[in-house]
Amino acid sequence: MYDDIAYNPRNPTPGIVVNYLNGRDHYAGTIKDYIGASVTASNFLGVLQGRRELIEGGSGKVCGSGPKDHTFVYLDSLETRRLVSFSDDALHAKDLTEAIKKLLEERKYAKMVFYLYASFSGSMFDGRLLYNISVFSTTAADPYEEACTSE
């Protein structure tokens, strides 16, 4: 997570993150491995692929999955067609699907579920994932539509 909610000037309860009025604080005690400038496309791919050598900043934690593991990925971001925005860079559809194919070749998962919430998010997978790679991807929008969000 970028970690820009708790102390955002628009947050009515500085330092506290709730999902409803007077709700439980979801910020206190939360371990944050990658925040701010360490939230990058390169770090995301490094974490996903279990490749510490690609990581700059953050905790250095990566996925350590193997051939019997079921992997769940949730990514919430801004997007234009065929790319997902990070703070100062972008993850391109080609790079994401190549990383997933490499994970399959290296037997780093048995099954994968990938949730992507962003406008035009369907364009990240549309026609790019093979049917026999045991990946279920679902997106907030098709390749040509904006995702609904609340401000």
What pLDDT is recorded for position 147? Answer: 86
Q: Taking CA 61 as the corner, what is the angle to CA 104 and CA 52, rounded to the nearest 5 degrees?
A: 65
84: which strand partners?
A: 79, 91
**Domain residue extents for the chain:** 65-139
What pLDDT is recorded for position 129? Answer: 84
What pLDDT is recorded for position 149? Answer: 62
pTM of model > 0.85: yes
Rounded average pLDDT per 10-residue block, the chain, 151 residues: 90 93 93 93 97 95 97 89 88 95 96 95 90 92 82 50
**Interaxial angle between packed helices 41-49 and 93-105, expressed in degrees from 0 to 180 and rounded to the nearest 10:** 10
What pLDDT is recorded for position 2? Answer: 84
What pLDDT is recorded for position 132? Answer: 87
